[in-house]
Structure 1
């Protein structure tokens, strides 16, 4: 791999080994492939059109360069727009498709976005709703052909004489330290921050990550992409794919991932832990339907997988694993295309039980860790057994440095660390000190140099007795139980620790049937004394693994799953603790009936 310094240099690398199916997406129900030549032509056509519209790199400073917004699901047009914008010297500002209108207005105004590309009518309508409140915004273009909207294909005209030379003159002056994108973090609390990432930030991370991915014995270089492309995890991985000769297939939607996997037969994909939980849930649903010997074999195989250890040399275990693989695990792999070698997992902590189960089934889970501000990878578990360890996020990525502060916070330094927060020097100074980025995560490096995340600094709370509690390890451990779908530990300034729990109805419903418990709604079910007793017994079994102050004394079962759409989760699946706390204040207060406020103004 020749040294490349800018993200759009991937076009030079691709031209040497062109592909007929570089980018692929479903159009009118059938897969449509875009060749390397076609993609490059479209990128150059869009670059030329943007230049004709007056888009430019301005005076070369981050503030002086034009900003182009992009709000879309993953599709070929996304990466084509990204690369085209880069070639003009402008800066891409991508947003999540589910971003609210108020936040869209705030971000587009702060970045002074000049043009916006959106994928669909509903997103076009969202931007139109606030268009008049954004003085810098000149026009909206849509990827879908929509009546009364500017279709982006009107920009893709045959190149005029001298167009390529003009683009070349501009790209010749773009350097690795120039900002390539401003990504606004969703954040679990507070106002989104615009993270300025340079070509060098993302490129160094992509090259080091690519070295790891290319060591996986892949059957074919074909990936399925379904995570949001404006999330730095998927965006950086996309550049790995573009530089290292992968074909990228974009899933139609989150609901069609299973069907798309069977069609595409990818050898690799990226995911968040929540998706793995959902995949395993579906596997268990199918297992629950089995009867007789098939049912016994299925659940025996699950128990075998749960006992998996990376370096287990027991011959008897290997024999059991081989039998389980032939009878059960092979069917799991077939369900996700039959060609998968590994899944790269990030964004939040992956339950160890899931890591073991999938890895035992020859679907190696490569969990990593990073933040938008670190482009994103800081550490990752590799495919090779010697470079993997359950319960950790792997060893440090090449070129990345980490040190643990006296209070346990993980500090990161390297070419991957952001330039800063856009238009927010004070906040930048709060997290960047001497080149070291303060991640806000608590962790440790073990004796084998594997990084372990123990909690989020801001999420650690203090009980009314003055004892500190880290909720994440408690939640991660207890969520290993199949009956617990989601869980949030509470207890800040309270006498004891309690928890909000969303049951896994996939497992709870069959249990209710076996125990003669009938119900007309989930609301009724979570109030059933027998169900509450079941969950309290599960919690009681885990409590001895924690010290007295960390033990969960009371629980409240909730009927509905937390989701992105209902506002309790960020677009990457992380809990918005503040939102959940406020939304379920009544349920939390009921778990602390004896704690009466001493504020006389609140006493009747």
Structure 2
């Protein structure tokens, strides 16, 4: 069995040989395959040439490129030299190029294409230690640099002459050696270099794969940034089982879903939010969806929602945060059973027909005809029929064979989560961080519990601690509760074989994050009564009000974003008497409303300051963020202001679309001060 990634690459080539490993597009956007043998040979040949160039074991090699077949070839080549890659996408900023390449001590840099090379060359004067630049694109015409495909040919020649330096390097790789050094986007300060070892990733491959039930026949679409560790673990899992990975992008996603008909895909919550919003925008637009079809969709979703809610409770897959009373559960279970009969696949027809047949020879025979009529109506009004007529069409848009999407990189809003699971697209939400390689927990098909991020990955030791560092709940490496109680909320700490070595050249940050081998995730959570992990917010995102109340902003933000008029929002209120919010409108929807209500839309700034618009948002906030929806009085937003500029990557958002709260707070500091002063 492979002990490191280089050995895994060799084993997969031997086992899966001519099976397609990765599929990429040519200039006409047709998919072309590279099989496992070809991929391994290209990687070995490249590694041989890189060794000849002078790359040593445990060197760091920068890799600045997006999802493409050359990326995985370069990854193979670098790892098989015994070195570690330092990956980043082409959206890297100038300052990040200078900092990351310099800080990582990379002397060799792989660059995707001539356009990326131009960006790199703007900063070259500040990168004196860089000795070699390798351009990956076959079509590159850049002078004065090495070309990756030339190096592959050179390595092929070296091996034809008998060189076998790669085999010696692979044999010398230790489980504790780094395979990558990933610089976190971070929401605060300079990026930190996360050192991940071969043993970290091999734990993921060996333990996450069985949880997902992916096999060699799987087809996966690769859409997340390939340099991000979540996408990498998905790709390494595929390599380990002989599955095929198809590279795509946001622009081509719709067409590629139809062409590839994937069975799995890794995704970020934002993708499903966008699809969800797109579906409802289309459904609610009379010009796109006639009233009859809109009503049919709502009816189909109603039946599916009620049927699935009943099935989840009856089968024990309904999340339990408090430890439900058995008697209450019994009566609720009876109610859910009735709900299932009324909405399940032909259950109403069967139950009504049996009742009519039994009553026919009795004094209640007069009930038989109404019951048979009800049975007839049940043929149409049931979750299975309506699913086939309506909801299956949505699934067809994903290719029709999607077994599940593995969602990570952020919290999936509850209403989006429920929607897709209810229409038959399983969302296996997971949880982790770059520092944990990344997977700490993930939902499985056997335990797909909405409202949680799934079961703890085997061999992971987890603790929930309070502010005094006292253990509230502890789960051992076998998944058993060995200390404390379930349902206690605190900060999540983890210890396990997936935890990073530390931050490169940053002992201070390492000592804060890792204490006695325990990683402080900075996330708030609990082990619920279904023995899965539920996250409740970020410890450092927590807003502490003047009265001492601690408020988790994410659930409130998710709820507010259910409004069709709110695209983005951020909760504010640190050290204030009450919560406030910064609102970014969905201008398309707002302008539709404005035209219907006689409000001028020619100037966005004037639009968001209009009294009618402000009143609209006040009502939207009040309708969503209230006691009826489970928000305590101190969790309810009162002051707010609207801004016209969306939160964007590289400014208010990091590369994983998470808000840089401190940046947003600084940017709108004057408005925040004013909204509380005016109040």
**Is the alpha carbon distance of 1:554 and 1:87 closer, same or farther for their aligned partners in structure 2, counting shifts above 3 Å?**
same
Deviation at 1:481, TM superposition (A): 3.7
Deviation at 1:525, TM superposition (A): 3.6
Unaligned runs of 5+ in 1: 58-64, 596-604
Q: Of 280, 284, 294, which aligns to 1:284?
A: 280
Distance 1:146 1:190 in 2: 35
For residues 33-79 of structure 1, give each alpha carbon's deviation from its aligned partner in whole angstroms, at most 9, with x where no partner exists.
1122221121011101101110111xxxxxxx321101111111111
Note if 1:318 corresponds to 2:344: yes
Deviation at 1:304, TM superposition (A): 4.8
Conserved 8 A contact 2:61-2:107? yes
Greater mean deviation of Cα atoms: 503-512 or 422-431: 503-512
Note if 1:573 corresponds to 2:657: yes
Distance 2:164 2:244 in 1: 29
Conserved 8 A contact 1:120-1:142? yes
Conserved 8 A contact 1:281-1:506? no
Partner residue of 2:413?
A: 351
Deviation at 1:3, TM superposition (A): 5.0
Residues 48-67 of structure 1 correspond to what in structure 2 (within 5 A)?
Answer: 48-57=48-57, 65-67=58-60
**Is the alpha carbon distance of 1:536 and 1:321 closer, same or farther for their aligned partners in structure 2, counting shifts above 3 Å?**
farther
Partner residue of 1:138?
A: 131
Q: Of 198, 222, 227, which aligns to 1:225?
A: 222
Conserved 8 A contact 2:591-2:601? no
TM-score norm. by structure 1 comes to 0.91
3-state SS of the aligned residue for 2:520? strand
Note if 1:414 corresponds to 2:499: no
Deviation at 1:589, TM superposition (A): 2.9
Deviation at 1:558, TM superposition (A): 2.6
Conserved 8 A contact 1:48-1:159? no
Deviation at 1:465, TM superposition (A): 3.7
Distance 1:118 1:492 in 2: 43
**Is the alpha carbon distance of 1:549 and 1:292 closer, same or farther for their aligned partners in structure 2, counting shifts above 3 Å?**
closer
Residues 380-399 of structure 1 correspond to what in structure 2 (within 5 A)?
Answer: 380-384=442-446, 387-399=447-459
Partner residue of 2:505?
A: 423
Deviation at 1:383, TM superposition (A): 1.8
Q: Of 618, 632, 649, which aligns to 1:547?
A: 632
Note if 1:472 corresponds to 2:472: no
Distance 1:258 1:358 in 2: 17
Partner residue of 2:141?
A: 147
Aligned-residue RMSD, C-alpha: 2.1
Distance 2:291 2:561 in 1: 29
3-state SS of the aligned residue for 2:452? coil
Residues 158-557 of structure 1 correspond to what in structure 2 (within 5 A)?
Answer: 158-160=156-158, 161=160, 165-214=164-213, 220-251=217-248, 253-287=249-283, 288=285, 289-304=288-303, 308-309=308-309, 311=312, 314-319=340-345, 320-384=382-446, 387-407=447-467, 408-505=490-587, 507-512=589-594, 515=597, 519-541=601-623, 542-544=625-627, 545-557=630-642
**Is the alpha carbon distance of 1:552 and 1:580 closer, same or farther for their aligned partners in structure 2, counting shifts above 3 Å?**
same
3-state SS of the aligned residue for 2:609? coil
Note if 1:25 corresponds to 2:109: no
**Is the alpha carbon distance of 1:365 and 1:507 closer, same or farther for their aligned partners in structure 2, counting shifts above 3 Å?**
farther
3-state SS of the aligned residue for 1:587? helix
Partner residue of 1:561?
A: 646
3-state SS of the aligned residue for 1:500? strand
For residues 452-482 of structure 1, give each alpha carbon's deviation from its aligned partner in whole angstroms, at most 9, with x where no partner exists.
1111111113223443322122222333344
**Is the alpha carbon distance of 1:515 and 1:442 closer, same or farther for their aligned partners in structure 2, counting shifts above 3 Å?**
same
Conserved 8 A contact 2:304-2:343? no
**Is the alpha carbon distance of 1:6 and 1:39 closer, same or farther for their aligned partners in structure 2, counting shifts above 3 Å?**
closer
Conserved 8 A contact 1:349-1:476? no
Distance 1:246 1:505 in 2: 42
Distance 2:398 2:134 in 1: 35
Conserved 8 A contact 1:18-1:35? yes
Deviation at 1:235, TM superposition (A): 0.8
Partner residue of 1:601?
A: none
Deviation at 1:508, TM superposition (A): 4.2
Greater mean deviation of Cα atoms: 582-591 or 450-459: 582-591
Greater mean deviation of Cα atoms: 506-515 or 424-433: 506-515
Conserved 8 A contact 1:285-1:506? no
Conserved 8 A contact 1:7-1:239? no
Unaligned runs of 5+ in 2: 314-336, 346-381, 468-489
Conserved 8 A contact 1:14-1:243? no
* Structure 1 outlier segments of 4+, above 4 Å: 302-308, 505-518
TM-score norm. by structure 2 comes to 0.82
Deviation at 1:97, TM superposition (A): 2.1
